Structure 1
Amino acid sequence: MTSPSGTVELRELVLPALANHHGTLFAGQALQLLAKAAFLAARSLVHREIVMAGVSGLDFLAPVPVGHQLLLRAWVSRVGRSSMTVCVTALADAPGLPLEKVIQGFFEMVAVDPSGRPVSIDCSDIQTETSP
């Protein structure tokens, strides 16, 4: 099943290499995973090169122990002239437990040309889902 353009779902397993000294997902590693999901969601919408311009409202709601899966859901919530806002949530998934929202954040992504300069997002480049 394919996701609509501008959305992405990824799964990551929290291994010891991603953990801090408490045995839970290290915040820096979490930020890297959320940034990857934001990048993929933005690029899937505009089909251009994308860079991150900023992160806002990053909230760590609960620790994620080693051995849990992290389900990352990202979607483009706003498209401007050359920038987009991408919302990302991370849910912890462990056998026998309900999904729990553990991290959420908002990423500002910018469409760029080959030299890294911002470029306008052409609305005709945006793929929208059509109903069958």
Structure 2
Amino acid sequence: MTSVSETHIENRERVQPNDTNNHATAHGGNVVKWMDEVGAMSAMRHAGTSCVTAHISDLDFRRPVPQGDTCVIESYAYDTGESSIRVRVQVYRENPRTGEREQTTDSYFVFVAVDKNQSPVTVETLSVGSQECRELRDEALAGERDS
């Protein structure tokens, strides 16, 4: 059984000119794509099979990620259904020279585990045995309710 902390993924994308909008900040579509990819990795780490995006809730862009900064995407699975996996995805802008970090986005994704024919498959329940896992799960559930 996979634990919440074992599904934690962190990835970085350097915001290049081709990733930006007219304001020289990361284009929202690129940020969503990066979130979807990293979130799916967390879901697949738990499911042990391919996962497809079923739902995205409360995707708010609170602040931009300037060109030249790093877009840090963190995700972890925090709950499961019969074939679904709920994943929290958080985004930060990070200055690559100083490491200064500021949150830009927080969202909740639902992925569905599928087989090679794209049919849903059953997933196991996540383990939340450690204090860290319980805190991550509880934080995600509270944030999901508040959104």
TM-score scaled to structure 1, two decimals? 0.87
Sequence identity percentage = 26
Q: Match for 1:105: what amino acid?
A: S
1:112 paired to 2:100: no
CA RMSD of aligned residues (A): 2.0
Whether the aligned pair in 2 keeps the contact of 1:55 and 1:105 (CA below 8 Å) is yes
Q: Secondary structure at the match of 1:5?
A: helix
Q: Distance in 2 between matches of 1:42 and 1:129?
A: 19
| Runs of at least 4 residues off by over 2 Å | 95-98, 126-130
Task: Report the equivalent of 1:79.
Answer: 80
TM-score by length of 2: 0.79
Tell me, which stretches of 5 or more residues in structure 1 are unaligned? Answer: none
Structure 1 Cα separation of the partners of residues 99 and 47 of structure 2 = 36
Structure 1 distance, partners of 2:59, 2:36, is 11
Equivalent-residue separation in structure 1 for 2:128 and 2:88 (angstroms): 18
TM-superposition CA deviations, 1:43-66 (whole Å, max 9, x none): 111211111111111110101110
Q: Report if aligned partners of 1:10, 1:71 keep a CA contact under 8 Å in 2.
A: yes
The answer to whether the aligner puts 1:21 opposite 2:22 as a matched pair is: yes
- Whichever structure has more strand as a proportion of its residues is 1
